[in-house]
Structure 1
Amino acid sequence: MDLLDGQGSLDEEMKKGNIFLCDYKILDGVPTNVINGKKQYLMAPLVLLHKTKDAKMMPIAIQLKQKPAEDNPIFFPTDSEYDWLLAKIFVRSADFNVHQLNAHLLRTHLLAEVFAVSLLRNVPMVHPLYKLLIPHTRYTLHINVLARKSLISPDGAFTKFAASGGEEEGMFTILRRSLSSLTYSSLCIPDDIAERGLEDVPNFYYKEDGIKLWEAIQNFVKEILKYYYKTDSDVENDPELQKWIGDIFEHGFLSQSSTGIPQKFTTVDELIKFVTMVIFTGSAQHAAVNSGQYDYGSWMPNTPISLQLPPPTKKGEATWETILATFPDVNTTVRGMDTMFLLSKESFDSVFLGQYPEQHFTEDFPREKIKEFQGNLEVLSISINVRNRMLKVPYTYMDPKKVENSVAI
């Protein structure tokens, strides 16, 4: 069986760094929803991917449950058309649930709320950190109140129609597991990409644009903070600053030192990195995980929010009728598409990254640095648009002109 298109053995490709694993173990054993009296299904698949010679990342094997067993076959592209297609559909449904609860809700919306609440209750308006960060909290608390009511409340769209919704608290199981595995380094895109071994993955525009945005934000933050904090002792001896990070560590990360989140700031560089992460999370990272939802989810088979039949236990039994019966019903499909459309929709009063309509800084230096930041973002936007004109599928989500300053939708 040649799964690697003549490029060698699996061992050889692994040694070359061309084999990747996507593991959805966070979903293992999660209780699932019941919709219109029908039990829904959500798998915890393992997906093996191969980086090909023509710079593509292609799936070469799918196991739909975590533990190997006779009734848990490994599916390959060489299997029947419907076997392979159905396996991929289960993976995409799993990805939807992890994406919405971990990548989207927890790692952008809820973290941005933690940063904002701590800022509002610990840092006075005259403080430079407040002036720097308050524009990046715009509408965050408001949208999260709405999300709690319309998406994850007992009558919310996600609770009622997603596979991990329902009364069995599947989504809260996923959120708890996601929080327990959350690390500081995974929130900092240069560290995250390196730790996952993705530095050399080609055509990975989230990585390329994201790291450039991180660097632009970091340079801006560095200029501002070094203007106010000349030495490390200035940071250590700032009580409001220390209360801000202490509150975040205690209430946002449950005082878990294993997360790598600092409990206090001891150096200027430490402060710069953390503030860069805060701004990046609420702006660029949220844009990356939010803006494209409808683009990829409007075709339901690509992102089914729930599935109505259990996964196949044998090869060769899947048919077109099996696939149609596995998909969510029409009402569930429409509610999922509607939700993704609303979440992806650009607000009529959006404020984009680097734009500060309200002037909080009074000194000339930070105002000049804001203009420099805006200029750097303009250059980055132009380069992204030049590249996108050459792509069959443009990657627009981290164009600074499409990235909002805050989690506002």
Structure 2
Amino acid sequence: MADVDRRKRMKIEDSKIKGTLVLTNHHSVSSLKDEFFGRRVLLQLVSAFPSESTVIILAIEGRGVRGKLGKETHLNWLNTFITRSTKGDSTFELDFDPDDDIGVPGAFLIINRHHKEFYLKTLTLTNVPNVGRLHFVCNSWVYPEEHYTKRYRVFFSNQTYLPGETPEGLRHYREEELDELRGDGTGKREEWDRVYDYDVYNDLSQPEKGSELVRPIFGGSIDHPYPRRCRTGRPLSDTDPRMESRIGILHSLEIYVPKDERFSDLKMADVYAYGLKLVSQGLLPGFESVWDKISDEIVSGLEHILNHKFEGVSSNKFNEFSSFKDVLNLYEGGLPVPKSNVLEGLRAKIPSEFIRELLRSDGEHLSKFPLPKVIEVDRSAWRSDEEFGREMLAGICPVVIRRLQKFPVTSELDPVKFGNQNSRITEDHIRDQMDGFSVHEAIKNNRLFILDHHDPLMPYLRGINETGTKTYATRTILFLQNNSTLKPIAIELSLPHPNGEEAGVISTVHTPASHGAKGTIWLLAKAYANVNDSGYHQLVCHWLHTHASIEPFIIATNRQLSVLHPIHKLLHPHFRDTMNINALSRQTLINAGGLLEKTVFPDKYSLAMSCNMYKKWDFTKQALPADLIDRGMAVEDPNSPHGVRLVIEDYPFAVDGLEIWSAIKSWVQDYVFIYYKNDEDIQNDNELKNWWDEVRTKGHGDLKDADWWPKMHTREELIQSCTIIIWVASALHAAVNFGQYPYGGYLPNRPAMSRRLLPEPGTPDYEELETDPEKAFLKTVTPQLQSILGISLIEVLSRHSADEVYLGERDTPEWTADKQALEAFARFGSNLERIENKIEEMNLDKKLLNRTGPAQMPYTLLYPRSDIGLTGRGIPNSVSI
């Protein structure tokens, strides 16, 4: 009898579904034991295919059809085996009692009945009847049940279903989950909320601190259109009820985004560390506001530092660089920091060990930086005209240069409002610089190119020059030489006419020179062009075209596409960390008085300038081939592997970019074809339709009536749109972000602002152009203190974190159960490895002069993989920094 009972128990045990649950929390194993002891976490499996009898009962009771729930399984210390990994993960082994009527589980419910949240990573089921093994990728925070309307969270297996193919048992939960993520559009969002919703950029101002910290509301108007950002629901300002109130700077990392969009613990640690380094190195004006909870004594000490009252170091010496050697000291020696009672007080008061280390006891090297790659081999190559031109093709911002197709250059600004803004550059200025070509011949032979920042800047220039900045709107004409390098041949510097906007501009045209005052003026003219390009890059090419434009797609995807949807699975890794970094940017970088306004020349007009450029944003032209054609840098060529032929064959960004673009598009096409057999499948997908309608009418609602939006009726439209989204979030962002420190960390090469105009002949300042050109140059561009702050900022922005996931990789190998999709993704990875090898080969090809240039700096910004840190290479999956 005992043997019969034992065999019966063994049979029951053998029939149980086995589960392995992996979670992470912030506590030790002993505290984890205390939390779970006597306080349960409950799990129930959900049948994907409810029995016919279940369907009938639910219909009679008036309830929607949903899968049958299995028996409850409790997660607690007494009946669960636990292991703890070095990564902080806890693994629980579970048994689910057999239920003959549940069939194949397609989801599970989990209820957290203890008082702390935990991060649920995965659940793996084995011994599942007729299936064997099922995997659930969760990667989500689970809060105590009182924070959820339904009291439970639902997680689906890694199967993929179009809406119309969803198993009947999961349909209700699929729709219910999307309702939860959409929310009701009301109330202040709390840390445990999972709601994705839209709002305008009305959270950048601080009206209670005065008019100087008030900016327009960006988004929701004809004058100031903008992509939407994540709604936080914070209370409106008492001073100006149009504006959302802001949180204190010390709480910047707490700004609301849905909890699952927040940085991982590892990434958060990096952000803290980089942020502290930024603050300590930058010594930014207003530093005390960052530490508004530190004692008055410490603030006083910081003011002491900011006022540069260093022992034995003159104020003037600290404020100004006198020579390029002074600049190099930032990398080779660091700025001297005084040994003083003030610093000793800081070390004693500030609790962070990290800060204590930065404020070293030897009083040295507070502001020492890594050597930027642009001066690693040759300290003076940046000054050459060839390197200046090369960086428009293979530098931080290789996406603005255009082929010149009309001469003289004309302006698109309204002549009624702005007068005559057309260029004053004539053929006489450039004839001797074009190797015997006339302008007509050079244009016909695709020899002339332009970096034109005149029109974007001119509407704001009068106001900008009333701030601490003094600069020009620039146009730079370049000639393509026989060796495929670009030579700048004229730079136009323009100012608003002193008689008013309607009077047009006053302009001077400068041509290459290498000696005397004219040689210094030519170097300064290139610097002014770089100042324009630096601001436009940061505010438009970087922030607007990647960070801001992608956020509406993230919000719409989570609101309208279920995690079961194939397009959600395709796009999800390309949205990682973006909402969190954007929220942090609104809090500290792009806000009124924020770091960008302090370090780029448009100052308080920064976001307004990007807003004006958003009026010209066209989603379809974010595709690399379309962008190159639009800028005249390529022409259509159906016989080319990428469908376009480059006008400059040695254009490293475009050459590498087209390889990456084609690899992404091939992967997306393979993936889409798995799930959509024809165009009718696209048209029958309601989730897809709602997603695209919301992207257009809400996320980018200010441009909803533009005629360029894809209709999303065909597979080709879906493939092209998803390829654009992935390209922008991964490769385009990498190309305009991770080169910031390698190229721009040496400020003379890439000044972010200028603070005086060209001196007039006959003045002492003009004489200095000839007698002390380095000092004259450095007195014109970014001053020392703001240089340190700017360099510190771009050093942070250019680093890869320890938990980065790169293009062609996923954070879990079991992101889908579909074998065809996994095989297609493996092909994508192989394609990227091939591209890496090709990039390495091209960078060794001495005939391709633009690959390395005079600075001997190989172009690696579109090399897919990278190590941790400041590498100048690597394409993360997403806009993650």
Distance 1:21 1:295 in 2: 24
Change beyond 3 A, Cα 1:63–1:163:
same
SS in 2 for 1:22: strand
Say if 2:619 is the partner of 1:184.
Answer: yes
Q: Does the CA-based 8 Å contact 2:446-2:647 persist in structure 1?
A: no
The aligned residue for residue 397 of structure 1 is: 861
Q: Does the CA-based 8 Å contact 1:136-1:405 persist in structure 2?
A: yes
How far did 1:101 drift? 0.6
Q: Which stretch shifts more, 245-254 or 397-406?
A: 245-254
How far did 1:155 drift? 4.2
Change beyond 3 A, Cα 1:400–1:158:
same
The aligned residue for residue 291 of structure 1 is: 738
Q: Which stretch shifts more, 320-329 or 68-77?
A: 68-77
Say if 2:781 is the partner of 1:362.
Answer: no
How far did 1:143 drift? 1.0
Q: Which amino acid aligns with 1:381?
A: E
Say if 2:600 is the partner of 1:162.
Answer: yes
Which of 280, 302, 310 matches 2:727? 280
Q: Does the CA-based 8 Å contact 1:73-1:313 persist in structure 2?
A: no
SS in 2 for 1:39: coil
Q: Deviations over 1:145-200 (max 9, x none)?
A: 1111221123421122322123xxx1122111110011124300011112212121
Distance 1:14 1:96 in 2: 27
Change beyond 3 A, Cα 1:259–1:144:
farther
Structural mapping, 1:149-298, within 5 Å: 149-166=587-604, 170-198=605-633, 199-253=646-700, 254-258=702-706, 260-262=708-710, 264-298=711-745
Distance 2:606 2:630 in 1: 27
Distance 1:352 1:339 in 2: 23
Distance 1:137 1:314 in 2: 54
Distance 2:684 2:483 in 1: 54
Distance 1:194 1:62 in 2: 25
Which of 484, 487, 494 matches 1:55? 484
SS in 1 for 2:782: coil
Distance 1:314 1:237 in 2: 72
Q: 4+ residue runs of structure 1 moved beyond 6 angstroms?
A: 32-35, 66-70, 313-316
Structure 2: runs of 5+ lacking an equivalent: 1-428, 498-503, 634-645, 846-851, 866-873
Q: Does the CA-based 8 Å contact 1:32-1:42 persist in structure 2?
A: no
How far did 1:255 drift? 3.3
How far did 1:33 drift? 8.2
How far did 1:40 drift? 0.8
SS in 1 for 2:459: coil
How far did 1:31 drift? 5.3
Q: Deviations over 1:30-89 (max 9, x none)?
A: 158889x96212432111111011211111111122789895211111481012111111
SS in 1 for 2:802: coil
Distance 2:616 2:434 in 1: 36
Q: Which amino acid aligns with 1:106?
A: L
> Which TM-score applies when normalising by structure 2?
0.44
SS in 1 for 2:815: coil
Q: Which amino acid aligns with 2:610?
A: L
Structure 1: runs of 5+ lacking an equivalent: none
Q: Which stretch shifts more, 326-335 or 267-276?
A: 326-335
Q: Which amino acid aligns with 2:858?
A: P
Which of 842, 845, 867 matches 1:387? 842
How far did 1:202 drift? 3.3
How far did 1:357 drift? 2.2
The aligned residue for residue 880 of structure 2 is: 408
Q: Does the CA-based 8 Å contact 1:40-1:163 persist in structure 2?
A: yes
Distance 2:759 2:560 in 1: 54
Q: Deviations over 1:301-358 (max 9, x none)?
A: 2221211113467799471354332122211111111111110011111100010123
Say if 2:468 is the partner of 1:39.
Answer: yes
Q: Which amino acid aligns with 2:601?
A: A
Q: Does the CA-based 8 Å contact 2:492-2:508 persist in structure 1?
A: yes
The aligned residue for residue 339 of structure 1 is: 793
Change beyond 3 A, Cα 1:367–1:11:
same
How far did 1:257 drift? 3.7
Q: Which amino acid aligns with 1:108?
A: T
Q: Does the CA-based 8 Å contact 1:32-1:40 persist in structure 2?
A: no
Q: Which amino acid aligns with 2:831?
A: N
More helix by share: 1
Q: Which amino acid aligns with 2:535?
A: N
Q: Which stretch shifts more, 310-319 or 177-186?
A: 310-319
Q: Which stretch shifts more, 249-258 or 151-160?
A: 249-258
Which of 24, 27, 48 matches 2:457? 27
SS in 1 for 2:555: helix
Q: Which stretch shifts more, 215-224 or 39-48?
A: 39-48
Structural mapping, 1:345-356, within 5 Å: 345-356=799-810
Change beyond 3 A, Cα 1:226–1:49:
same
Q: Which amino acid aligns with 2:603?
A: G
Distance 1:19 1:326 in 2: 29
Distance 1:295 1:281 in 2: 21
The aligned residue for residue 138 of structure 1 is: 576
SS in 1 for 2:490: strand
Q: Which amino acid aligns with 2:608?
A: T
Q: Does the CA-based 8 Å contact 2:461-2:496 persist in structure 1?
A: no
Q: Which amino acid aligns with 1:389?
A: L
Change beyond 3 A, Cα 1:266–1:66:
farther
> Which TM-score applies when normalising by structure 1?
0.92
Distance 2:524 2:540 in 1: 24
How far did 1:258 drift? 3.4
Say if 2:507 is the partner of 1:76.
Answer: no
SS in 2 for 1:60: strand
Change beyond 3 A, Cα 1:335–1:65:
same
Distance 2:762 2:571 in 1: 54
Q: Deviations over 1:237-285 (max 9, x none)?
A: 21111121112112343234436222x3111001100000000000000
The aligned residue for residue 94 of structure 1 is: 532
Distance 1:259 1:44 in 2: 31
Distance 2:830 2:462 in 1: 48
> Cα RMSD between the aligned structures?
2.4
Q: Which amino acid aligns with 2:713?
A: T
